[in-house]
Amino acid sequence: MYDHLIEAQVTAAEIACQRMSPSRLKALGESLENACLLPPDAGWDQKAAAHAAFFTVMADAADDPVSSPVLATGAELANELMVTAGRTASQIVINSRRRVLDHLRTGNATAAALELGNHLRTLQFMGRLTRTN
């Protein structure tokens, strides 16, 4: 259902990751930190939206007329997938974001983009499991 959208995110993310400046990398780290700092009693919808903002920061980093809008819609896609997967996805989301940041710090744009794709596919699968229960 989301396969083509996820592939578009991977392609756009690779462009953004290749163009990642130190200040944008810092902004991505801050985006993750801000999402993690939400209080434990915050609703999952609020936390998912905060984690989805990671894609918005990537869209800004891409600074590209084609990939930036794709990544901006990635925030909506990620949010929908996280909300559907449920709160149990929280640590999976955090760990994936950390792996993306690690790949970016070592200059591996392809690995960072592939991690985002794998993450979205994992959330999609978790959402399917949630709907079947």
Q: What percent of the chain has pLDDT over 90?
A: 89
Enter the DSSP assignment of 65: T
- Residue spans of the domains in the chain: they are 3-132
Predicted confidence band of residue 133 (pLDDT cuts 50, 70, 90): low
Predicted confidence band of residue 61 (pLDDT cuts 50, 70, 90): confident
Report the pLDDT averaged over residues 35-53.
Answer: 93
- Name the superfamily (CATH) of residues 3-132: GntR ligand-binding domain-like (1.20.120.530)
Q: How far apart are CA 133 and CA 19, in angstroms?
A: 42
Reference 120, options 9, 19, 22; nearest CA is 9
